[in-house]
Amino acid sequence: MVKILKDSYSVWWADLRILKSLWQRFLITSLTSPVLYLLAFGFGLGRGIEIGGVSYIEFVIPGIIALTAMNASFNGAGMKLNVDRLFYKCFDELLMSPISSLSIILGKSLIGVLRGLMVSSAFLAIGLAISSTRITPLFGLTLLLTCFTFSFMGVLAALLAKSHQDMATFSSLILTPMTFLGGTFFSLRDLPGWLKMILHLMPLVHSSRCLRAEALGRSFPWASFLVLLAFGIAFFLVCLSVLKRSSV
């Protein structure tokens, strides 16, 4: 176990050095979209609206945090790995090193987790300044799980991609629908039952539900937390399977 953690850190360290030199630029550019969402939906369209007895601004902030964690984690892990594999070709050297597939997956995912936590925490600070959002240990645990889940998804997409265009296609077909249909900007409560069943196949829906419940002091949806955990484990196991096949 100690060797796995050390090897994972070794894989993570190379990406961490790059982030260390670019973190300010990364943070500013990554915060642009969530801040614009907050201005457009929270202060624009949602002004004077209440959902479930709370103002729309308090309703939408946890959803945007989940969305921000998703995008930053997926792109932070997936896009970097995609470039390493298909442009620099340096990922092949990692595969030939005496490092287990488990350590490679964890190491490549950790950079996405760190990026996701950085951006979502920065946006959370904005949310705390303008709303009464509650922060609890369970909120933090859900945010961490969200970052891991979408970081594993990003690594999986990068391992399966045959070109840079494949990553753009994945984002358009998977991330974009989750962005607008994942319960970020509206409540799923009044949607038709068949549509809610489809939307609950999106991990972002469960992340938004858990974060919103804790932020607003409501009963925590443990079922959604377990579903989100199941998504994370599934993405991780598929990553391992794909990487082992590519190493043969």
pLDDT tens-digit profile of 165-221?
A: 999 899 999 999 999 998 898 888 878 888 889 999 999 999 999 999 999 999 999
Model pLDDT, residue 14: 83
Residue ranges, the chain, pLDDT below 70: 247-248
Model pLDDT, residue 44: 82
pLDDT tens-digit profile of 150-174?
A: 999 999 999 999 988 999 899 999 9
Least Cα distance to 83 among 170, 171, 167 occurs for 167
Tell me the Ramachandran region of residue 183: left when phi exceeds 0, alpha when psi lies from -120 to 50, beta otherwise.
left
As a whole number of angstroms, the distance between CA 152 and CA 171 comes to: 14
Orientation of helix 203-215 relative to helix 222-247, angle to 10°: 140
